[in-house]
Amino acid sequence: MLILLVSGAPGLAAGLGLRPLGEDPLGNLRRMVMPAFVLGTGLAAVLMRQTRNAMIEVLSQDYIRTARAKGLAQPAVVVRHALRNGLIPVVTILGLQMGARCMGGAVVTEQIFVLPGFGRLIVEAVFTRDYPLVQGVVLITASSYVLINLLVDVSTRS
């Protein structure tokens, strides 16, 4: 739908496919705007809702009330105290959704926007029955998913 919506507007439609980065860096960036927007909007909505709920819960805690009573400015209370604790569930959800949305959604997005990448590689490998390539892509995808979750666990430890 985004391709149809943007294709009629002059200057907005960057085209499909990808140019080599060394040949046309600006054109390459313009061609990546729509796929990045498509991949990011669904995840952004989930993260914004979770951030809002976490901040509402954290801002009603006793230690936030104590920080305000000590005379700290509102931005300092929010950034130093509330945001640090409120982002723990958000980072956890971000780590879990990276595999589902970005790695899994990349298959569909790369096919629609004619981009070379892991998603397109796995689809072509399945259609040509190249089993070692399918195993390699699955191994790299699973390893990156485990690494992302490890980084999330390490970053959320207090």
Average pLDDT over residues 122-143: 91
Give the whole-number percent of the chain exceeding pLDDT 90.
25
Instruction: Give Cβ neighbours of residue 102 (< 8 Å, ≥ 6 apart).
Output: 39, 43
pTM given for the model: 0.71
How many C-beta atoms surround the C-beta of residue 75 within 10 A?
8
Query: Per-domain residue ranges for the chain?
Result: 19-156
Distance CA 96, CA 32 (A): 24
Residue 114: pLDDT band (50, 70, 90) is: confident
State pLDDT tens for residues 25-79.
887 777 788 888 888 888 898 899 999 999 999 999 999 999 999 998 999 899 8
- pLDDT exceeds 90 at position 101: no
